[in-house]
Amino acid sequence: MEGGRHLYGGAQQVIYLLEGLKIRGIENFLACRPDSDISWAAAPFAEVCTLPIGGDLDLPLIGRLYRLIRSVRPDLVHLHSRIGADVLGGIAARLARVPVVHSRRQDNPEKPWTVALKYRLHDRVIAISEGIARVLLAEGLPAEKLRCVRSAVDIRPFQQPPDKPWFRAQFDLPDDSLAIGVVAQLIGRKGHRFLLEALPGLLAQFPTLHVLFFGKGPRETELRETVSRLGLAGRVRLAGFRADLPRLLPCLDVLVHPALLEGLGVSLLQAASAGVPIVASRVGGIPEAVRDGVNGLLVPPGDAEALGRAVSRILGDADLAARMGAAGRELVGREFSVDGMVEGNLRVYRELLDAW
């Protein structure tokens, strides 16, 4: 089950997983919203079962999922998003007496009593990073329920050479421009505002610099107003959700991810696959995807001054940027392969079913 509407990082992981399971001869059924992007993206790899998913308070969802589970009769249920899936999906699977796996993708803290109650519904909890695993253990999740299977990325689409003329034409950028990007939902915890705070100082050093925010979200209007208020309208563009990131990312000079909370960050893996150096916050699972001084630089969360210094260091040193880009490709290929992620989930499934 995946309850999200857009094909963001978490939903993309579900697509990778479904494809890998199908290749291994496993039959998949996906429960999702009828208006979601994953409903069509998953169609080649699973029988897609659409149903209304209204969120955490949509109590009738329990009945809808229960009936679907009883109809499909799966070996297990794997819950992905937190939009009603983690609790209501867990209740439905429990009522249907089917083993339940839940993937935890965010590192935002939960109260111990919430952890004690919610995760009682799940037979296994998969953390997508060691950072999330540490948070869950600290909050009281029993270690015997917890497994860590890192998110992954298909490196191949991101290894195309940069098409800078096309890229500049897409966003009406001058021929001598430098471009940094943020690939994240437009929500507060992604920290876009800290890059905006750092930008005037960066523009003083790099007068041809431009910033692109890729993604959608509820903070879009607020960010546009902030950009206008700071007089940055000519240098910052809110580019919306783009499905052509494999072509866009290789054209960036730096990817910036100033998040306050982050489970791992699929966009970081994508940028590293594209050979782009990264500046990101030292939070959650980010240090697993961005090794400080290797494929990028890590800064304290919420520190706009440190963020600006790190971006400046990479933009001002072409050799450093090239070394970090090459190291990022090697890191993703070695530690974040799609096959490794699929096999990791499959091990959890087999272990659970053997014990059931």
Q: If you write DSSP's letter for every residue of 125-151 in order, what string do you get?
A: EEESSHHHHHHHHHTT--GGGEEE---
Element (H, E) at 103: strand 100-104
Q: Any bridge partners for residue 179, and if so which?
A: 210
Number of domains comprising the chain: 2
Measured CA to CA, the distance from residue 276 to residue 259 in angstroms comes to 18
Q: Determine, yes or no, domain membership for 110.
A: yes
Same domain, 328 and 287: yes
Q: What is the pLDDT of residue 82?
A: 75
Cα–Cα distance for residue pair 46/347, rounded to 1 Å: 20
Q: Residue 7 pLDDT > 80, yes or no?
A: yes
Report pLDDT for 125. Answer: 96
- Is 345 found in the same domain as 322? no
What does the alpha-carbon distance between residue 21 and residue 1 come to, in Å, rounded to a whole number? 15
Residues 62 and 119 in one domain: yes
Same domain as 193, residue 177:
yes
Asked whether residue 83 carries a pLDDT value surpassing 80, the answer given is: no
Tokens at 256, concatenated:
């910036």
pLDDT averaged over every residue in the chain: 94
Domain that holds residue 190: 156-335
167 and 130 within one domain? no
- Of 37, 64, 68, 43, nearest to 53 (Cα)? 64
The enclosing H or E element of 214 equals: strand 209-214
Return the number of other C-beta atoms located less than 10 Å from residue 238's C-beta. 17
Does some domain include residue 3? no
276 and 345 share one domain = no
> Do 166 and 300 lie in a common domain?
yes
Residue 270 and residue 190 in one domain:
yes
pLDDT in tens, 98-145: 999 999 988 777 787 888 888 999 999 999 999 999 989 998 999 999
Shared domain check, 307 and 344:
no
Do 97 and 162 lie in one domain? The reply is no
- pLDDT 10s digits, 246-255: 999 999 999 9
Q: How far is CA 24 from the centre of its chain?
A: 25
Average pLDDT for residues 210-221, to the nearest whole number?
95
Question: 12, 128 in Cβ contact below 8 A?
Answer: no
Q: What is the reported pTM?
A: 0.86
The answer to whether residue 261 is domain-embedded is: yes
**180 three-class SS:** strand
- 4 is a domain residue: no
- CA-CA distance, 260 to 189, in Å (whole number)? 5
Residue 289 located in a structural domain:
yes
Closest of 255, 258, 312, 294 to residue 278, by C-alpha: 255
**Is there a domain that residue 1 lies in?**
no
Same domain for 71 and 31 = yes
Whether 2 is covered by a domain: the verdict is: no
CATH code of 17's domain? 3.40.50.2000
- 269 falls within a domain: yes
Both 246 and 342 in one domain: the answer is no
**pLDDT score for 81:** 78
